[in-house]
Amino acid sequence: MQRAKIVCTLGPASDDRGTIRRLADAGMSVARLNASHGTTDERAELLSRVQAADEATADPLAAMIDLRGPEVRTATIAEPIRLPTGSTVRFIKGETATSETVGLSHSIAAVEPGDTVLLDDGRIETTVERVDGETVIARVDSGGAVGSREGVTPRGVDLGLDLIDDEDREDLRLAAEHGADFVAASFVGDAADVYEVVDTLESFGGTETAVVAKIERGRAIENLDGIIDAADGVMVARGDLGVECPLEDVPLIQKRIIRRCVDAGIPVITATEMLDSMVSARRPTRAEASDVANAVFDGTDAVMLSAETAAGDYPVEAVETMARIVRRIEASGEYAATRDERVPAAKAGARTEALARSARYLARDIDATAIVVVSESGYTARRTAKFRPPVPVVAVTPDDRVRRQLAVAWGIDARYASYSTDIDAILETAVAKATAAGVAESGDTIVVLSGMIAGVAGTDATNTLKVHTVAERLATGRGVVSGRSAGPLVRTDDGDLSGVQSGAIVALPAGFDGEFDGDVTNIGGIVAVDEGLTGYPAIIARELDVPMVSGATVPAAVEEGADITVDGDRAVVYEGDVVSRRTNGTETSVRDR
At 454 the pLDDT is 59
Contact 49, 15 (CB under 8 A): yes
Instruction: Tell me if domain 5-69+163-338 and domain 351-470 are identical in fold.
Output: no
Comparing C-alpha atoms, which of 559, 544, 563 is closest to residue 480? 544
User: Strand, coil or helix: what is 120?
Assistant: coil
32 in catalytic set: yes
At 470 the pLDDT is 83
Question: Per-residue pLDDT averaged across 438-458, rounded?
Answer: 76
Which residues, listed in sequence order, are joined to residue 65 by a DSSP beta bridge?
33, 183
Reply yes or no on whether the pLDDT at 586 is more than 50.
no
One CATH from 2.40.33.10, 3.40.50.300, 3.40.50.1980, 3.30.70.60 for 73-154 = 2.40.33.10
Reply yes or no on whether the pLDDT at 522 is more than 90.
yes
What CA–CA distance (Å, rounded) separates 554 from 90?
87
Q: Give 338's contacts (C-beta < 8 A, 6+ positions apart).
A: 297, 299
Contact 232, 198 (CB under 8 A): no
Give 254-297 pLDDT, tens digit per residue: 999 999 999 999 999 999 999 999 999 999 999 999 999 999 99
DSSP H helices, 399-527, are 400-405, 423-436
At 339 the pLDDT is 93
Comparing C-alpha atoms, which of 185, 186, 201, 190 is closest to residue 151? 186
At 590 the pLDDT is 30
* DSSP assigned state of 521: G
Comparing C-alpha atoms, which of 453, 441, 302, 442 is closest to residue 373? 453
Q: Between these two residues, 77 and 442, which has the higher pLDDT value?
A: 77
What CA–CA distance (Å, rounded) separates 459 from 451?
7
Among residues 3, 5, 9, 32, the one annotated as catalytic is 32
Contact 473, 396 (CB under 8 A): no
Among residues 74, 153, 270, 272, the one annotated as catalytic is 272
Contact 390, 447 (CB under 8 A): no
Contact 530, 513 (CB under 8 A): no
Question: Per-residue pLDDT averaged across 329-354, rounded?
Answer: 93
Give CA 499 to chain center in angstroms: 53
Q: Give 357's contacts (C-beta < 8 A, 6+ positions apart).
A: 343, 345, 346, 387
* DSSP assigned state of 79: S
Contact 372, 394 (CB under 8 A): yes
At 119 the pLDDT is 93
Average pLDDT of the chain is: 92
Reply yes or no on whether the pLDDT at 104 is more than 50.
yes
Q: Which fold has domain 351-470?
A: Pyruvate Kinase; Chain: A, domain 1 (3.40.1380)
Q: Give 261's contacts (C-beta < 8 A, 6+ positions apart).
A: 228, 233, 234, 267, 268, 301
Q: Which fold has domain 5-69+163-338?
A: TIM Barrel (3.20.20)
Question: Per-residue pLDDT averaged across 519-526, rounded?
Answer: 95
Give 10-52 pLDDT, tens digit per residue: 999 999 999 999 999 999 999 999 999 999 999 999 999 999 9
Contact 32, 1 (CB under 8 A): no
347 in catalytic set: no
At 469 the pLDDT is 78
Question: Domains of the chain: which residue ranges?
Answer: 5-69+163-338, 73-154, 351-470, 474-575
| Position 437 confidence tier, pLDDT thresholds 50, 70, 90 | confident
Among residues 43, 49, 214, 360, the one annotated as catalytic is 214
Reply yes or no on whether the pLDDT at 458 is more than 70.
no
Give 156-181 pLDDT, tens digit per residue: 888 989 999 999 999 999 999 999 99
What CA–CA distance (Å, rounded) separates 107 from 455?
55
At 455 the pLDDT is 58
The answer as to CATH 3.20.140.10 being correct for domain 474-575 is no
Span between the terminal Cα atoms of the chain, in Å = 33
> How crowded is the C-beta side of 230, counted as CA atoms within 13 Å?
21
Reply yes or no on whether the pLDDT at 585 is more than 90.
no
| Cα 439–Cα 264–Cα 64 angle in degrees, nearest 5 | 70
At 456 the pLDDT is 55
At 427 the pLDDT is 76
What CA–CA distance (Å, rounded) separates 365 from 360?
9
At 481 the pLDDT is 96
Among residues 5, 73, 238, 433, the one annotated as catalytic is 73
What CA–CA distance (Å, rounded) separates 251 from 500?
67
At 580 the pLDDT is 67
| Cα 203–Cα 204–Cα 209 angle in degrees, nearest 5 | 100
The DSSP code sequence of 182-202 is: EEEETT--SHHHHHHHHHHHH
Rg (CA), the chain: 30
| Cα 35–Cα 36–Cα 39 angle in degrees, nearest 5 | 60
Reply yes or no on whether the pLDDT at 589 is more than 50.
no
Give 119-130 pLDDT, tens digit per residue: 988 889 999 999
Contact 410, 374 (CB under 8 A): no
Q: Give 52's contacts (C-beta < 8 A, 6+ positions apart).
A: 17
What CA–CA distance (Å, rounded) separates 402 from 197?
20
Q: Give the DSSP H or E segment for 588.
A: strand 586-589
Contact 39, 62 (CB under 8 A): no
Give 56-97 pLDDT, tens digit per residue: 998 999 999 999 999 899 999 999 999 999 999 999 999 999
At 582 the pLDDT is 37
DSSP H helices, 218-249, are 218-222, 224-230, 238-244
